[in-house]
Chain A
Amino acid sequence: MSIRHGLLALLERGPMYGYQLRVAFEESVGGTWSLNIGQVYTTLSRLERDGFVVALPASEGGQRPYELTGPGRTELASWFATPLERTDRPRDELAIKLALAMTTPGVDVAAVVQSQRTSGMRALQEYTRLKVRSDKRAQGDLSWLLVLDAMIFQCEAEIRWLDHCEATILRDRPAPAPAAQPAPAADREEAKS
Chain B
Amino acid sequence: MSPDVLELRDVHRTHGTGEAAVHALRGVTLRVRPGELVAIMGPSGSGKSTLLNLAGGLDSPSDGEVLVEGTALSDLSHRRLAAVRRRTVGYVFQDFNLLPSLTAAENVALPLELDGVGVRAARRAAIASLGEVGLAELARRFPDEMSGGQQQRVAIARALVGDRRLVLADEPTGALDSQTGEAVLRVLRDRVDAGAAGLLVTHEARHAGWADRVIFLRDGVVIDSSGPLGTAEDLLEHTS
Contact = CB atoms under 8 A, between A and B. Distances in A.
A130 B208 contact: no
B1 interface: no
Interface string A93-119: 000000000000000000000110110
B205 A124 contact: yes
B233 to A, nearest CB: 9
B217 to A, nearest CB: 12
B205 A120 contact: yes
A132 B224 CA distance: 25
A115 B223 CA distance: 10
A153 B205 CA distance: 9
Contacts of A166: 43
A132 B189 contact: yes
A84 interface: no
A151 interface: yes
B18 interface: no
Contact of A124 (B209, B225, B227): B209
A32 B236 contact: yes
Contacts of A121: 41, 205, 208-209, 214, 226
Contacts of A117: 216, 224
Interface in B217-240: 223-227, 229-232, 235-236, 239-240
B232 A122 contact: no
Interface string B26-64: 000000000000000101000000000000000000000
A171 to B, nearest CB: 10
Contacts of A151: 239
Given A33-B240, A132-B186, A125 B226 contact: yes
B205 to A, nearest CB: 4
A127 B209 contact: yes
Interface stretch (A39-47, A52-60, A155-163): A155-163
A21 interface: no
Contacts of B206: 124, 128, 152-153, 155-156
Interface in A124-147: 124-130, 132-133, 135
B142 interface: no
Given A33-B240, A118-B226, A152-B206, A125 B214 contact: yes
A113 to B, nearest CB: 10
B210 interface: yes
Interface in B172-205: 186, 189, 204-205
A163 B43 contact: yes
Contacts of A74: none
A186 interface: no
Given A117-B216, A121-B209, A130-B232, A156 B204 contact: yes
Contacts of B224: 114-115, 117-118
Contact of A155 (B205, B227, B232): B205
B235 A127 contact: yes
B211 interface: yes
B227 A31 contact: no
B209 A128 contact: yes
A74 to B, nearest CB: 30
Given A129-B232, A167-B43, 11 more contacts: A31-B240, A114-B223, A118-B227, A125-B209, A125-B229, A127-B232, A129-B229, A130-B232, A132-B186, A156-B205, A156-B209
Interface of A: 31-34, 114-115, 117-118, 120-130, 132-133, 135, 151-153, 155-156, 159-160, 163, 166-167
